[in-house]
Amino acid sequence: MNPKFELKQERKQSLTQKQSQRLIMSAKMQQGIYFLQLPIQELEATIEEELEENPLLDILEERESTPEEDEEWERDPKENLEEELSFNEGDFEALSRMDDDFTENLYQEKISSENREDGDKLKTFLLSLVQKRDTLFENLMRQAEEAFTTESEMKAAESVIGSLDEKGFLTTPLDEIAFLSGEAPELVEYVIRRIQEFDPPGIAATSLRESLLIQLKRKDKENTLAFRIVDEFFDELIQNKIKLIAAKLKESPEMVKQAVKDHIVQLDLNPGYLFANTGQKIIVPDLSIQEEDGILHVKANNDRLPELKINRQYIRLLQDESLNKGEKEFLKNKIESARWLIKNIAQRQSTIEKIGEWLADKQKSFFLDPKGLLTPACMRELADDLSLHESTIARAIANKYLSCDRGVFPLRKFFTASYTNVSGEAVSAKTVKDILKEIIDGEDKKRPLSDLTIEKELERRGIPCARRTISKYRLELNIGNVHQRREF
């Protein structure tokens, strides 16, 4: 008899090690990225908060020590301090060079008391020119405090109000707001409906159509022809198809036009702008490019930022043997935080200045010639030239302005796609948009130009541009199509 064999497959658990590379972004690196995307005014406020929270941070004043103290400081063994001020490895390679980079900067005394006094007077004068007005968020939160009574409602309200865009519309999905607030979607939905009853009318709507309907309801016009037009024929309304609306409503075109003129045109298309555009808004450029004797000088705006240093008394305190381990750890953490703050601010300003130098070279004709045109440029090209990631460039130019002899411009203005005219020269998309707007501004509004006619006019001016591109640029310029621009 042949022996029988049974084949059994057993499952076993085992531990294996796998090596992989991952970039773990530390809090200090996140701070550097955060600083890079902040406009200069917001960075200034952030630095003030850091000064309040970190007792080891100081502003560089005229002279804070006697010559004897300076001599004593020079005699202090730097190597001993370096042992005490150890940092976590693996954050930035530049960390190892921080002490050498900042030894000179931290303890320099550049600012005279006269300059600081003049600067403080100028700052006080500028602030006195602008009357502080409530933001949309502040205004709505004050109304929320009166409307809601529970902590959950207030948390939901804060998330809803914080999610409104500058027009006052709510474009964030309900589920996302519920997740951010930690409250139930049903509660968030109830809070949204209540906020839509706040002032200004039309606020917190999820679309322009809903905003207009809310405003009409607030005016007790639910049973009017205007309400029906917005509610049932909104798409036709924005296309200015008056005759089609009239036919569907079985009303005369004159009645529809009158309803639009008397009730709909009066409504606010952007209720949030009531707060965004009130008062004077001072734009502080992060960068300046000025011409002098035919040479362009680039400078990042450092005037608004205080020169920071680490308070040397606390560094000396680390050598005090009477300090316990917890106190020494606290001082080390604060010193590390202060040094990273100074490093990240310096890195931010350096990056912005490098961008300015690149723009000065790339857009030289624009900066030197009052009628000079922009040369086509893209962020990827800048990123490659500076050996930076394109996302870094995007953060660095976001919400920032450049000052030059021709005025103050958003940094994004200088990055635009290109076209080639009949002469073979590159023309920026911004230039094409300007010409397009000029053509439409000069048209007869009773017989507005079609995109085909505009295409031929651009071609006549030596700029070939497809109709679909013209349509795209019209939308970006908030210009309607031929039907929307027609005046009956």
Residues 371-427 have pLDDT tens digits of: 887 777 888 888 889 888 887 888 888 889 999 998 899 888 888 665 555 554 556
Residue 400 contacts by C-beta under 8 Å, 6 or more apart in sequence? 39, 40, 285, 286, 287, 352, 410, 411
CA distance 28 to 26: 5
Burial per residue of 211-249, b for 16 or more beta-carbon CB atoms within 10 angstroms, e otherwise: bbbbbbeeeebeebbbbbbbeebbebbeebbbeebbeeb
Q: How confident is the model at residue 92 (pLDDT cuts 50, 70, 90)?
A: very low
Give the three-state DSSP class for 351: helix
Query: Quick one: average pLDDT of 277-289?
Result: 73
Provide CATH 1.10.10.60 ranges for the chain.
418-485
Does residue 180 contact residue 159 with C-beta atoms inside 8 Å? yes
In sequence order, what are the residues at sequence separation of 6 or more whose Cβ sits closer than 8 angstroms to the Cβ of residue 377?
359, 362, 363, 414, 415, 416, 428
44 in Cβ contact with 349 (< 8 Å): no
**Phi, psi of 222, rounded to the nearest 5 degrees:** -65, -30
Percent of the chain predicted with pLDDT > 90: 24
Give residue 314's pLDDT.
79
Average pLDDT over residues 311-340: 83
How far is Cα 279 from Cα 122, in angstroms, rounded to an integer? 20
Is 325:379 a contact under the CB 8 Å cutoff?
no
Mean pLDDT of 234-256: 89
Q: Which fold has domain 418-485?
A: Arc Repressor Mutant, subunit A (1.10.10)
pLDDT band at 208; cut points 50, 70, 90: very high
